[in-house]
Chains A and B, each alone.
Chain A
Amino acid sequence: AQSVTQPDIHITVSEGASLELRCNYSYGATPYLFWYVQSPGQGLQLLLKYFSGDTLVQGIKGFEAEFKRSQSSFNLRKPSVHWSDAAEYFCAVARPITAGNKLTFGGGTRVLVKP
């Protein structure tokens, strides 16, 4: 069965500083990989996704993530955070099938941004 681990429950970062959120997965092959963000009172919004090809993927809001097969990781990064990036971030995986994938989520990392 697939599983996702986000080792950091909370991260506090200063505005303008860089951010890296860690995600490790367990799956027999390379799954589809996703990062979602949840702002207070909002649903989950997709930041970026990886299926195959270039291991560095660009997403919305200036985020990027790098897939490292050898480490079973898919870490999310942003070079310079803005106060509006304060939210909870979820890494998720799905089986690489043709349709109807369910998502398996990590526990989430809550990001606080200091002025």
Chain B
Amino acid sequence: EPEVTQTPSHQVTQMGQEVILRCVPISNHLYFYWYRQILGQKVEFLVSFYNNEISEKSEIFDDQFSVERPDGSNFTLKIRSTKLEDSAMYFCASTRGSGTDTQYFGPGTRLTVL
């Protein structure tokens, strides 16, 4: 069964550094998402991406965040200058696109900012 993959599984970085989290969505999917879960808190929506542009973003997704689909298979989340409060599990998801289609989630990347 096709699945969403994410790399790395765990990323440790120093505050102020840039990080790029990578995702490979399911190949025939059209909508891509990033969510995050701070330890002990809810899974929160960050951004959705369709047709090479952001379709929706939350208030969390400020200028420090960006997303890109650089090569037709990868979907990346970049945090320009990490803060301590960016420490969280980041999940990538994808769907074929219809509102009733299932969102398939990757296993997540645990980001630790020191």
Contacts and interface: CB of A to CB of B under 8 A. Distances in A.
Interface of A: 32, 36, 41-46, 49, 51, 90, 92, 94-108
Nearest to B43: A105
B75 interface: no
Interface string B93-114: 1000111101111111000000
Contacts of B106: 43
B87 interface: no
Contact of B45 (A42, A44, A90, A104): A104
A72 to B, nearest CB: 18
B105 A43 contact: yes
B57 to A, nearest CB: 9
A43 B50 contact: no
B56 A100 contact: yes
B100 A32 contact: yes
B44 interface: yes
A99 B105 contact: no
A101 B50 CA distance: 11
Interface of B: 4, 31, 33, 35, 41-45, 48, 50, 55-56, 58, 91, 93, 97-100, 102-108
A21 to B, nearest CB: 15
Nearest to B45: A102
Nearest to B41: A107
Minimum-distance CB pairs A-B, first 9 = A43-B105, A44-B105, A105-B43, A102-B45, A43-B107, A99-B97, A46-B102, A97-B99, A101-B99
Given A46-B102, A46-B104, A100-B99, 13 more contacts: A36-B105, A44-B43, A44-B105, A51-B100, A92-B43, A98-B98, A99-B50, A99-B97, A99-B99, A100-B55, A102-B33, A102-B45, A102-B48
Nearest to A44: B105
A61 to B, nearest CB: 15
28 contacts: A32-B99, A36-B105, A43-B91, A43-B106, A43-B108, A44-B91, A44-B93, A44-B105, A46-B102, A49-B100, A49-B102, A92-B43, A94-B99, A96-B99, A97-B99, A99-B31, A99-B50, A99-B97, A100-B50, A100-B56, A101-B99, A102-B33, A102-B45, A103-B35, A103-B45, A103-B103, A106-B42, A107-B41
